[in-house]
Structures are given as structure tokens and as C-alpha cells.
Amino acid sequence: PPLDNVLNMHDFEVVAKAVIPEKAWAYYSSASDDEITIRENRTAFQRVWFRPRILRDVSTVDWSTTILGQKSSLPLYISATALGKLGHPEGELCLTRAAANHGVIQMIATLASCSFDDIVDAQANDQTFFLQLYVNRDREITKKYVQHAEARGVKGLFITVDAPQLGRREKDMRMKQVDDSAGAEVQKGQDVKKDQGVARAISSFIDPSLSWKDIPWFRSITKMPIILKGIATAEDAVLAYEAGVQGIVLSNHGGRQLDTARSGLEVLVEVTAALKARGYWPDPKFEIFVDGGVRRASDVLKALALGAKAVGVGRAFLYAFCAYGQEGVERAIQIFRDEFEMNMRLLGARTIDDLVPEMVDASALNQH
Ligand code: FNR
């Protein structure tokens, strides 16, 4: 269907499913075990209701913000999704080019199909990149990778902490045959087991021994802000703050890791409460992000009202470029922008700062 017919993120998913190879669909859409958490990521947003305010002169509304001190035209960033070329020949570069044209920040995946340098070489309009890091058992490899990224101007290091082992994504595992056509060029694992699905086959280099003790080492090798991606409890949010990192992403990896883990949105409420109780937050030097299931600007506004600085978007942009390449991502960004304008007007929020907890009723959020 022509791109003009695409009205929302759900439409991109329908088109992507129809046009990409079966194996790509299995890898992208799958989640772990019984896929309860991936469903919950969507339904959690539906348990939070708005409390809109009226008569506030919303003739102009502004949804731009900063993320880790970097300008962002939208209060969201493109989260890392691996192996972009399974679904589109140009892979992650579709995201890069669209992001450059619209002032959106892209998080580059360790396991991107396009090489890190190819992505950064495509940089335009002074666009900002973050890096998602899977930590290699060989720390020298990780150190080189991180320092190279910093030298090339990356503005934030998102260390994935929810994947000491990859979850069982059975849809993906049933595909059996793994080839290297979309091959992540970096850090391929040693003993690749070809019957484990795409995800597991490429991830055996990831170090399951990673622990809180490693954080000072990361601090010693880079000046980039360090963000832990995949925090799922208030306890770990407190430890992260005390470890001196610059932020956390409340995330369950798009439902792909521990099944029946809670949604990032639900975790957000207990995290802000615990940090506040200790006098740690609000703190402009510690930003809280949420990802999982974001398909509408209204989802983003709920997370922001509850204390998130911005949200990560994975599959929505992934499906947009699989379906329509760079243009699809541009359209997705435009749709988000239109939705921000309308929803902020209807909510009575002129700027991001107007989004306060009183703008939502989250009392049903932990009633599953
Ligand atoms: C991911 N995600 C992910 N996260 C990460 O830290 N490293 C990675 O390599 C990947 N790869 C990846 C591949 C695919 C196909 C998906 C769908 C997701 C997780 C991603 O960054 C983010 O946490 C979720 O995608 C957010 O959920 P939504 O937006 O996809 O619902």
C-alpha cells in the first residue's frame, strides 16, 4: 500500500509482516517463552488514564526536549534493534538518514547489520548517536569499541544489563537455518549453534559474569554518560544511582528476555518513589528512560508525566524501515509529531515541563 495510507505505527507492522522474509519477521516480532511480557508492554499503557486540563491557551505547543544534554526534536529516541538488514537491504542506515533529517537521536546496536563506522559516516546535520553495548568476555575488545565510539562523537553509552543470556524466542528458534547474510560485522560469537535461532547464534560473546563491580571500569575507560539499559526494579535503580551512572532504561528488552517481567511503565512508578524517598531524585544528572510497547505519542506522554525523561522506540521504527525504507521512518516520525501536537493540546500541556504526575491516573497500573 502507498505510504500515504499509513496512519499509525500499527499499520507499519502489518505492512512489514507482509513484505519481509519469514525469518526476519520471526526474529523481529518474537518475544520470549509465552510472550506474556510483550503483550503486557502494550496493555500497561492502557491502564493509565489521562487527567486533561482545559483553558490553558494551547495555540502553540512544544514537545522538543534534551536527552542526556543533547537536543532532541521529540521526547523519544530510536532504540537499538539488531540485524536491520534481515528486513531491508539498507538496514540501519534507513534510520540514520531519517533521524538526521528530523533531529531524532539514534542508538546504534552492537549487533547492527551495518558497521558502526558506516552508520557514523552517514552522519548529517550534526545528528546525535548513542551506542548500545553488549559487553564482550574479552574486555579489550569492549574497551576498544567504546573508546572508538567516543572518539567518533557518540554521546551516550547504553550498557545492556538484562541479557546475560538471550531469552528463548521460540518463533525465531523454529526458523533453524542461520546464515550470515545480514551478519553483524562485529564480535561474532565463537561456538555458534545454528539451531538456536538468529538471536542466540550471534550473541555467544556476551559476558554473563558482568556485575556491579564492573561499573567503575567502564567509568575509567570513557567520559561518555553511562546508562544501564534493562533495569526492572526499584532496588536496582537505587543501586544504579549509587553506582554513579547517568541514567537507566526501565525495560524488558521488548519482551525478549525474562518472560512475565513487568512493563517498564509499571516499574517507573516504583522507581521514582524509591529514588525520591532517598532524596536521590529529581536530579538533573540522572535521567530515567522507559521502553517497550510505545506505539503512540500518548504512550510517551504517560511515561513523561510519570517521570521519564524520554522513551525508547524499537519495533515501531524497525517495522517502518522494513516496510518503506528511510521514507517509512520519516513518515513514522511525522506521525509521532502530529500525535504530540494534538495530544498535548487536548491534554493542556504546552511544553514537556507541563507533564506532571497529576496529568495521569495510574492507580490501576499494577492491577494486572
Ligand atoms: C531489540 N532490543 C535490543 N536491545 C539491546 O539492548 N540490544 C539489542 O541488540 C537489541 N536487539 C533487538 C532486536 C529486535 C528485533 C528487537 C525488537 C528489540 C530491544 C530494544 O532496544 C528495546 O528495548 C525494545 O525493542 C523496546 O520495545 P519495542 O519498542 O520494540 O516494543
162 is annotated as an active-site residue: yes
What would the DSSP string read from start to end of 164-203? Answer: SS----HHHHTT----STT---S---SS--TTSHHHHHT-
229 Cβ below 6 A of ligand 1: yes
Q: How many whole angstroms from 92 Cα to the centroid of ligand 1?
A: 13
Return the H-helix or E-strand segment holding 235.
Answer: helix 234-242
Centre of ligand 1 to C-alpha 319, Å, is 12
- Specify the pLDDT at position 186: 46
Q: Which of 105, 157, 256 for a ligand 1 pocket mutation test, highest count of atoms within 8 Å of Cβ?
A: 256
Distance CA 112, CA 94 (A): 12
100 Cβ contact partners less than 8 Å away, ≥ 6 residues apart: 122, 123, 124, 125, 127
Q: Which amino acid appears at position 33 of this protein?
A: D
Q: Report which ligand 1 atom has the smallest distance to the Cα of 29.
A: 17
Angle (nearest 5°) at CA 32 between 363 and 335: 60
pLDDT for 189 equals 45
Q: Measure the CA–CA gap between 186 and 205, rounded to whole angstroms.
A: 10
| Confidence at residue 193, expressed as pLDDT on a 0 to 100 scale | 55
Question: What residue's CA is closest to ligand 1, atom 9?
Answer: 82
Task: List 226's β-bridge partners, or say none.
Answer: 157
Which of the residues 27, 28, 77, 134 is marked catalytic? 134
Is 88 one of the annotated active-site residues of the chain? no
With CA atoms as reference, report the closest residue to 116 among 89, 78, 153: 153
Q: Which atom of ligand 1 is nearest to the CA of 28?
A: 15
Cβ of 111 below 6 Å from ligand 1: yes
How far apart (Å, rounded) are the C-alpha atoms in residues 105 and 127?
A: 7
Measured distance between the N- and C-terminal CA atoms of the chain, rounded to whole angstroms: 37
* Cβ of 291 less than 6 Å from ligand 1: yes
Q: Are strands 76-78 and 105-108 parallel, antiparallel or unpaired?
A: parallel
Q: Are 86 and 27 in contact (CB under 8 A)?
A: yes
**Confidence (pLDDT) at 69:** 98
Q: Which of 253, 259, 299, 324 is catalytic?
A: 253
β partners of residue 65: 72
For residue 263, report the distance from its CA to the centre of ligand 1, in Å: 14
Q: What's the pLDDT at 200?
A: 72
Q: Catalytic pick from 28, 88, 102, 162?
A: 162
Q: Cα separation of 161 and 227, whole Å?
A: 10
Three cell numbers written together for 128: 546525535
Atom 23 of ligand 1 has which residue's CA nearest to it? 253
Contact 227, 157 (CB under 8 A): yes
Reading the block at residue 267, the C-alpha cell is 516499574
Instruction: Using most ligand atoms within 8 A of CB, pick from 42, 81, 119, 252 the residue to mutate for ligand 1.
Output: 81
Beta-carbon count within 10 A of 172 CB: 27
Instruction: Name residue 160's beta-bridge partners.
Output: 229
The three-state DSSP-derived secondary structure of 223-261 is: CCCEEEEEECCHHHHHHHHHCCCCEEEECCHHHCCCCCC
Mean pLDDT by groups of 10 residues along the chain of 368 residues: 97 98 96 97 98 98 98 98 97 98 98 98 98 97 98 98 94 74 50 62 90 98 98 98 98 98 98 98 98 98 98 98 98 98 98 98 95
Grid cell in block for residue 2: 502507498
User: Which pLDDT score, from 0 to 100, does residue 175 have?
Assistant: 86
148 is catalytic: no
| Residue linked to cell 499509513 | 6
Cβ of 24 closer than 6 Å to ligand 1, yes or no, is: no
Of the candidates 228, 172, 224, the one whose C-alpha atom is nearest the C-alpha of residue 203 is 172
135 in contact with ligand 1, CB cutoff 6 A: no
The verdict on pTM exceeding 0.90 is yes
Whether residue 255 has its Cβ less than 6 Å from ligand 1: no
* ipTM of predicted assembly, 2 dp: 0.99
